[in-house]
Amino acid sequence: MELALGLGLGLGIPIALALGAFLGYYFAMKHFKKQLKEKPPINEKQIRMLYQQMGRKPTEKQIKQIMESFKKQAK
């Protein structure tokens, strides 16, 4: 009886750790992607400032293209 209990606990702990690691990773990635979608790491105003620092005046089309590329990367 003691042997069966020892084997059950011996296998249960690694299985529980692996399952916990997998679920933790899954929910962390889901939360991270949701935050990237709600609050992108860069906005249109920052893109305009970057272009001005390079000495260029960006068009709206260029800004929209850059924003779309960030949105595609977040998916």
Give the pLDDT of residue 70.
Answer: 79
Closest C-alpha to 47, from 29, 30, 60: 60
Instruction: Tell me the pTM.
Output: 0.54
The pLDDT of residue 40:
76
Query: What is the DSSP code (8-state) at residue 27?
Result: H
Read off the tokens for 9: 């606990």
CB burial string 33-45: b at 16+ within 10 A, e below:
eeeeeeeeeeeee
Strands (E), 1-75: none
Tokens 């889901």, residue located: 30
Residues 2-61 pLDDT 10s: 555 555 667 778 888 999 999 999 999 999 988 887 887 788 899 999 999 999 998 999
